[in-house]
Every structure is written in structure tokens, then in C-alpha cells.
Amino acid sequence: MGIPTMVVTRQGFARIVANAFGGLGFPAEGPTVYEFPAEMFGKASDLTPLSRNMDKIVYGLTRWQPQTRMTGTFAPPKVRVTGKDYDEAVTNMNFLFLRNLWSDGLPIAPPTEERVGWILRGTDLAPEMAVGAVMPRGRIATVESAAAALAMTGGRPEYLPVLIAAVEAITRPEWGLWAVNPTTDSVIPAIIVNGPVAAQIHLSSGYGLLGPDPRHPAGVAIGRALRLVQQNLGGAVPANGTMALFGGMRATNAVFAEDDEGLPPGWKSLSVERGFPEGSNVVTATPVNGMMNMGGHFGAREVNKSTLTMIARFMSIPNMANWSASMTLDDWNNPDLPRGIVLIPRSFARSLASDSGYSKLDVKTFLWQNAGIPWSDVQAMDLAQDLVSRATKLVPQGSPLPIASRPEQITIVVAGGQTAGHCYWMPVGHSNRHIVSKEIRLPAKARWDDLLGQAEKDLPRVMHEPYPPR
């Protein structure tokens, strides 16, 4: 833009800066980036390294010029891998993808033209159609590149519409992938699916829904494919384009369905709460940065109240992502502000409705009233002082700081095994972004029916019963 610019950043963050500039349409090589020891960026730190390298800063502001002159988009050439037989070729392909940082470290299936073409049968959308820019690197996710990622994870054509909708959701600017992908926070997209499509593709809403399940392989395949999109198109390679310190659950993200059939009478599904007609096929994307199992009991009203109180205490654990230094009161009051996800199994949800007379909003209101960060913790959090000043505009000084501005911001999803005794808390990650929901676009009915018919042959319905016959 003609403005002399250079960047001083922490050691290891040069690629993060390059990705960010590349995603904005500037040469990824610049502006000039100089890395300094991470210790220099703490409070009361030693700035000697900065003063000793002042000549580099002067050079960056006065003499540096980008070497990249060409602009535009391009599709890279296809890669050919050979071997003495198919097994050796697959092995060579896996090594090649690892060396080029195209794989995620787990074995991948070859994304051949034939396999990707098979996956593309899952949509009527044109292969070259742009789905979204995957920030911060800014490479464009197309229908075909999403299909290629799904092919690499061993996915199936009927999974593709859900993956495309998930990519659409997280690439919306308001979802904040430009911050979620590179951050030091170990944040992942949680993708919740509502509608008939979940059961049709064998996406789990029950026992073990966040883990591996041979009866319900869709969640792992879709979530891993979404991670490959984030990595290969968004630049999120650990210690290179993403600085998440721990990377929890990043191998497969979290892709699961709400137990629509298990909702108590009068309880709306998440998609209906988000404004979609009942029965719509919808994905909802929320950033989360952890998972906590919470044991509990249910039955009588007081027992249910005790379990909800326990959940509220888990939600009250101070989470820095709840409060960003850049968050404004407008952000805080945004109805789409993510505040975390509470997973409640159907048996507990039905007990809350029948034994306690609670609506879903009643449960949210109880949690909102009882989940608060103690004032002493608010004062102790190592953030700018404006956090305390903003907090006093929400609650009287000394009162617990609520985790949301209103009960409706708390997301409750009915999901999990049918027996009770446990709930699950997924705290928000990298806050002051938006929850985003997208409708899932299925192909024409005849093609969709053909795909589901083939899936039934490959993975018979009996395989998805609790205990299939041997």
C-alpha cells in the first residue's frame, strides 16, 4: 500500500505473520519480519535485544522491497507418485505428503482423481465453486479441495454436504478463523449437526459421540477432513502456522449430532433455536478449547438441581477465552457470542423436563444464575485493567461475573448415551467471535437415495445397532 512497514514479533511467529499478510492479498514474504526472544514480550522485560538490532528495523522501514511481483490465484499441478506396486506407491505418497506438510501425521488414503470424483458424487455443486477463504493464509477452499480432504481421511460421498457446510460456517469472517487458526489457544471447531442427515450418514449423537466408533465413522472422517482444510489451505501447521500450545482434539476436531429424537417435549433443537425450521439439515459451528466430563445424578427435583449446580461450578472455572482484551460491551451483548456448550444426555434432559418441569430456557437460566467467576478471580486475571472496569458495568463490584450477558447465549445440546450419570462441558475458545449456522445442501433426491442405498450395502444398518450379530 506504499506505507513502510515491518514487524517485530516473538520467536517462532514469523510464519504466522506471513500467513496473515498472504491472506490479505499481500506477498507472504513480507513485510520484513524480525523475530526476538519470547521473553522480551513479557511485562517489565528486557528490551536490550530490540535496541541491539535497531539497524534491522531501520532497514525494514527504509530499504526492504518484496521479491514477489505476481498476483492472482492458481491451482497447483497434480502430483504423481509411483512405486514397484500399489502398496509401495501408497507408502511413498504418505512420506511425500508428510515431507511437504500436507498430511496431519496419520496415514492418509490417496486422493486420486478417481477417489475424489467418487466423493464429489455427494454434491450437485460445481467442483470449482469457492466455499470460502481459509484464513489466515487465505487459500480458497473449493468444493473439489474439500472433497480431496475428505478422500484423504477415508470419507464417503454422503459426508461431503456436511463438510462443505462446516467449511462455509468456519470461513465466515464473523466466525473468526483468522484468529482461531493461528492462536496459542488450543481451540477447535465444534460442529453440531441437526436434521435427518445425521442418522442417514451414521453420525453419532449417542455413546462415545466425540471419540472413535466403527459403527459411526462419519464424525471422525469429517472432523479430520475439516482439520486438513484448516491446515493445508489456512496454514495451520503446528509451530509454523498455528501456535496452539497443546492442540487438544485437533486431530479430528469435534463433529457430532444432536439427539433430535431424544429431545423432551417442548425442548427445541439447537437448529430451531438458531432460526431454522424444524427438520432442517443444519450445521452449527462453535469454537471450544477444552472438554470436561462431569459426573452427576438425576431424578427428583432436588437431585436434578444439585447436578445442575455441579455443572454451573464447572462452568465457573475462569477461562481466559471468556474475556478477550479486545471485547467490547457490544461484543458481550451479541446474541451469537459463543459461551461454550453443555452436553446433556437424553435421560437427564427428560428428567429435567418431566421431574423438574424445566424447559430448556429454564436450564439455561439456572446455569446463568449460578455460573459466575468470583470477583477475586476477576481481579487476579492477568488481563488489562479495562476488564475490571467493563465488569463493573455488568454487575456490581464484588459480585460474581456471569459467563454470559443473558441465558440464551449458553448453548445446550442434548447428546450422549441414553443412560445418565454424566454431562459434558466444552468451554468457549478464543472468544468475541460468532456462532455460525449453515444449512446443509444435499444433492438431488435420486442421487442422494442412490448414495444412501450404496452406504447401506457397504455398512449395513445392523452394524449401527448397539450389539450387531456376529
Give the pLDDT confidence of 76-124 residue by residue, as tens digits. 788 999 999 999 999 999 999 999 999 999 999 999 999 999 999 999 9
Looking at residues 22-51, what average pLDDT do you find? 72
Q: Residue 434 contacts by C-beta under 8 Å, 6 or more apart in sequence?
A: 172, 174, 175, 176, 334, 336, 337, 338
Q: Residue 238 contacts by C-beta under 8 Å, 6 or more apart in sequence?
A: 244, 247
Give the pLDDT confidence of 158-214 residue by residue, as tens digits. 999 999 999 999 999 999 998 899 888 899 999 999 999 999 999 999 999 999 999
Range name among 140-149, 317-326, 404-413 with the lowest pLDDT average: 317-326
Distance CA 82, CA 382 (A): 54
| Burial profile 305-331: b = 16 or more Cβ within 10 angstroms, e = fewer | eebbebbbebbbeebebbbbeebeeee
| Burial profile 205-229: b = 16 or more Cβ within 10 angstroms, e = fewer | bbeebbeebebbbbbbbbbbbbbbb
Give the pLDDT confidence of 323-354 residue by residue, as tens digits. 665 667 788 888 899 999 999 999 999 999 99
pLDDT of 243 strictly over 50: yes
User: Is 284 strand, coil or helix?
Assistant: strand
pLDDT of 226 strictly over 90: yes
Percentage of residues in the chain having pLDDT higher than 90: 60
C-alpha cell at 375: 470477583
pLDDT of 466 strictly over 70: no
Measured between alpha carbons, how far is residue 137 from residues 97, 140, 217, 330 in Å?
Answer: 19, 9, 30, 28
Q: What pLDDT sits at residue 83? A: 96
pLDDT of 455 strictly over 80: yes
In this predicted model, which residue has the larger pLDDT, 405 or 231?
231
pLDDT of 470 strictly over 80: no
pLDDT of 390 strictly over 90: no
Cβ-contact 137, 233 below 8 angstroms: yes
Q: Name the amino acid, one letter, at 204.
A: S
Distance CA 445, CA 412 (A): 32
Q: How far is CA 109 from the centre of its chain?
A: 23
The pLDDT confidence band at residue 64, using thresholds 50, 70 and 90, is confident
The pLDDT confidence band at residue 427, using thresholds 50, 70 and 90, is very high
Range name among 50-54, 95-99, 400-404, 438-442 with the lowest pLDDT average: 50-54
Strand partners, 288: 188, 428
Q: At what angle do helices 143-152 and 218-232 cross, to 10 degrees?
A: 120
Distance CA 368, CA 321 (A): 17
Give the pLDDT confidence of 276-315 residue by residue, as tens digits. 999 999 999 999 998 999 987 777 888 899 999 999 999 9
Distance CA 353, CA 262 (A): 12
Distance CA 281, CA 200 (A): 11
pLDDT of 377 strictly over 60: yes
Which pTM does this prediction carry?
Answer: 0.90
The pLDDT confidence band at residue 29, using thresholds 50, 70 and 90, is low
Q: Name the amino acid, one letter, at 355.
A: D
pLDDT of 415 strictly over 70: yes
